[in-house]
Structure 1
Amino acid sequence: MTNDSEIVVEEKISGPISDWLSNKGFENIPLKEDHLGIEVIKISPNNLLSIVEALKNDGFNYLQCQGGYDEGPGLNIVCFYNLIEMNELKEDISPREVRLKVFLDRNGDLTVPSLYSLFRGADWQERETFDMYGVNFKGHPHPKRLLMPEDWKGWPLRKDYVQPDFYEMQDAY
């Protein structure tokens, strides 16, 4: 039961980076901050490259991490990107950071643009995400498995993955 005199205030979850992107005309959906208080933003695969390029031009010049995770059987495969502004770091000032997430329908198109053209460090990170989750990175210069043998079937870190009973490495001898 609520009192008529109570004022209900909705929590604003959009942060300065989400607002900046919106003001620049980029579609995005702010999500709840992560456990460290860093802004998390949902974006579409079609906008990924242009948004990351705009953020890089605004000072986010370091791709700290790119990876993926599976929300569960029948749910989305998620690609995430942690971007940091790396300038002269001072002890009392934390660098600006942002987390971007692209949610992909596991039964749909699992393709996102590669960030290799903007960050060379995306090379092996994107290959690992491909190798473990089956996400294809359009425009990646080396789109092949990184950890698993080239003829491996399936994506081992997906929650619906079925472990094969036997795998014979023919090149091992």
Structure 2
Amino acid sequence: MSFDEIKALLLNKFGADVIVGEETGGLQSALLIAPEHIANVCLVLRDDPGTYFDFLSNLSGVDYGAEDGRFGVVYHLASIPYNAQLVLKVSVVNERSLDNLPTFPSIAAVYKSADWHEREVYDMLGIFFTNHPDMRRILLPDDWEGFPLRKDYVEAEEYKGIKIK
């Protein structure tokens, strides 16, 4: 299925509000999906016999910077039988408070490999995934303060009495 056919499939299935934009100028085109639809979109793309995106090859978080005030997640899907790839992106505006994390629906129920990918995005960027089966830090200690890959992260001087810098 072509990029335009996939777009038409999603519009037909979910309506006009599912796709909020598209990026076609880069090396790989991407559909910008309304965040509340991402889990259902992935499920349809996985289960539809015309697309069969059976493999989540990568999931990564994005901090667009304090001036933009946005956080996002990029999903790289692959269809092994059809030798096809698709990029989906979601984003939300967030005031960057550690008390109000940017939040997206988890796709771990659709792709099991999303479990650890989402935990890493949470651990490094503070992006929270609702309905995740085990949303906790995966790389850093549970009591670590902050999220190191945020553009406004201030590195701690020490951790438990041990100098970091």
* TM-score bin, normalised by smaller chain: 0.7 to 0.9
Larger strand fraction of residues: 2
TM, length-normalised to structure 1: 0.79
CA distance in 1, matches of 2:161, 2:12: 53
- Residues 143 and 34 from structure 1, CA distance in 2 versus in 1: closer, same or farther, beyond 3 angstroms? farther
- Matched residue SS, 1:69: strand
After TM superposition, where is structure 1 displaced by more than 6 Å over at least 4 residues in a row? none
Q: How does 1:64-143 map to 2 (within 5 A)?
A: 64-75=57-68, 76-87=70-81, 95-107=83-95, 110-143=102-135
Cα pair 2:23 2:32 within 8 Å, conserved: no
Q: Flag the 1:34–1:80 CA change in 2: closer, same or farther, 3 A.
A: farther
Aligned match of 1:47: 37
Aligned length in residues: 150
5+ long unaligned stretches in structure 1: 1-13, 90-94
Shift of 1:19: 2.3
- Cα contact 2:123–2:139 (8 A) shared by 1: yes
Q: Evaluate the alpha carbon distance shift between residue 153 and residue 99 of structure 1 in structure 2; reply closer, same or farther with a 3 A threshold.
A: same
Which runs of 5 or more residues in structure 2 are unaligned? Answer: none
Amino-acid identity (%) = 32
Per the normalisation by structure 2, the TM-score is 0.82
Q: Is the 8 A contact 1:34 1:40 kept in 2?
A: no
Question: What SS does the corresponding residue of 1:24 show, helix, strand or coil?
Answer: helix
Tell me which residue corresponds to 1:7: none
